[in-house]
Amino acid sequence: MILTRLLARELLDSRGRPTLEAELHTASGAIGRAAVPSGASTGRHEALERRDGDAARYGGRGVRQAVALIRDRLAPQLLHRDWTDQAQLDAFLCQCDGTANKSRLGGNTLLAVSLAFAHAAAAEARLPLWQHLSRSQPCLPMPMVNMISGGLHAGGQLDLQDFLFLPLQARTFAEALEQVWAVFYSLGLLLRQKGYETALVADEGGYGPRLPSSEQALDFLVAACQHAGVTPAIALDVAATHFYREGRYHLNEQGGRVVESGWMVERLVRWCATYPIVSIEDGLAEDDWDGWRDLSEKLPQIQLIGDDLFVTNPQRLRQGIQAGIANSVLVKVNQIGTLSETWQVLDLAREAGYRSVVSARSGETEDSWLADLAVASGAGQIKVGAITRSERLAKYNQLLRIEEAGLPLAAWQPLLRPVQS
């Protein structure tokens, strides 16, 4: 595939902050375009974003430097050459940057071009993006849907970042969204009856009520499932890194307290014995490996997802697998910087028996490529956000379109034993 034109532009994401879009044209007339998301809850081991740093413009968050890098540095080297596949292009992008964390050109710079190339290749082959990307048995992913938010997604009124619902009894993706809708609107009704705010939503579209404790959030979510007539299945995104300082966890709820890893683990164990929790993300901080090991040993039946822990990085995931830590990885493409490196993580997880959950970011765009990646990878799960904001619905609606191809919805398989390293 010969590239003839490479464009880049500064757009705005779902938080109204600048983000980057790249557009590739091929000699045959195919066009590929992709926009890059950005996170608020970011791990320090992620690929670095390229931001302008000019406080007088978008508070320093502009991406004109990244636009210039694509136009002036990458385009002259990429255009009018015959590229055989995604892996070749992505390897060249990584070589151009030359750093482990993409700090020279920026993870957002490389990812915009990487994803635009995937779109262009799909257009060149006249295939839907999910079909072009498919390397295993594609399937519709089970949605893990935001219901109540705290942490960095909703002003920190709750220590935990997200309380989510999984429609595990659904037989189709369309039915899964129907159950999600029923639970979400039942939850809103119950919150309003108790005098909590529901008109405003958090970064990912969930409710952000000022509840006194995480336990009350869990109680409301269970009650909402019962009110909707749906089997409750809860997932937590603790995002513990963001209240971890100097080796301890600093909690704000109920007057505040400072606790050790053991206390955090025991609280999660107690919650799993009390509530229908099936999944916990970032239950401990990104570098609290001892705490993670303790959690993994005590909750082998729970899906334990590493987000800040693994940051979609093959080296960190391999370290976790060897240590028997967690049993699942959250896959966020902009954490690593290219599509090919993301596939390395997906393949590594599958080979080790770890689960993968393809995830959006809190700063999203209306681009729907994430839905195609979730289907193509056969990961079986997707975490996008609530059903109230268009940048989230773009992904859900794309999955409804893809379902028309006759693909099955991934079934939830219980974890009966810990993953062995």
Q: What is the DSSP string of 20-81?
A: EEEEEEETTS-EEEEE--B-SS--TTSPPP-----TTTGGGT--HHHHHIIIIIIHHHHTTS
298 included as an active-site residue = no
Closest to 102 (Cα-Cα) out of 329, 333, 293: 333
**In whole angstroms, what is the distance from residue 25 CA to residue 50 CA?**
24
First to last CA, the chain: 41
Q: Would you say 321 and 354 are in contact if contact means Cβ atoms under 8 Å apart?
A: yes
Please tell me what DSSP assigns to residue 380: -
Query: What does the alpha-carbon distance between residue 63 and residue 72 come to, in Å, rounded to a whole number?
Result: 14
Give the count of beta carbons closer than 10 Å to the beta carbon of residue 322.
10
21 is catalytic: no
Q: What angle do CA 255, 217, 40 make, to 5 degrees?
A: 80
The two structure tokens encoding residue 20: 């980057």
- H/E element holding 257? strand 257-259
Helix (H, G, I), strand (E, B) or coil at 349: helix
Q: Which of 46, 124, 204, 391 is catalytic?
A: 204
Phi, psi (degrees; rounded to nearest 5) at 108: -65, -35
Amino acid at 378: G
Q: Is 246 exposed, middle or buried (0-12, 13-18, 19+ CB in 10 A)?
A: exposed
Task: Find the catalytic residue in 332, 341, 391, 395.
Answer: 332
Give catalytic residues, as residue numbers: 204, 332
